[in-house]
Chain A
Amino acid sequence: GENVEQHPSTLSVQEGDSAVIKCTYSDSASNYFPWYKQELGKGPQLIIDIRSNVGEKKDQRIAVTLNKTAKHFSLHITETQPEDSAVYFCAASPDTGRRALTFGSGTRLQVQP
Chain B
Amino acid sequence: GAGVSQSPSNKVTEKGKDVELRCDPISGHTALYWYRQSLGQGLEFLIYFQGNSAPDKSGLPSDRFSAERTGGSVSTLTIQRTQQEDSAVYLCASSLEWTPSYEQYFGPGTRLTVT
Contact = CB atoms under 8 A, between A and B. Distances in A.
Interface string A88-113: 01010111001111111110000000
A99 B100 contact: yes
A100 B33 contact: yes
B106 to A, nearest CB: 3
A45 B104 CA distance: 8
Given A32-B101, A43-B108, A103 B59 contact: no
A95 B99 contact: yes
Interface in B31-62: 33, 35, 40-45, 48, 56, 58-59
Contacts of A102: 45
B93 interface: yes
Contact of A89 (B43, B59, B103, B107): B43
Q: Contact size class for A?
A: 20 to 34
A42 B33 contact: no
What is the predominant secondary structure among interface residues of chain B facing chain A?
A: loop
Interface in A54-90: 89
B25 interface: no
B101 A106 contact: no
Contacts of B99: 95, 99
A34 to B, nearest CB: 8
Interface in B1-18: 4
A44 B106 contact: yes
3 A-B pairs closest in CB distance: A43-B106, A93-B100, A105-B42
Interface of A: 6, 32, 34, 36, 41-46, 49, 51, 89, 91, 93-95, 98-106
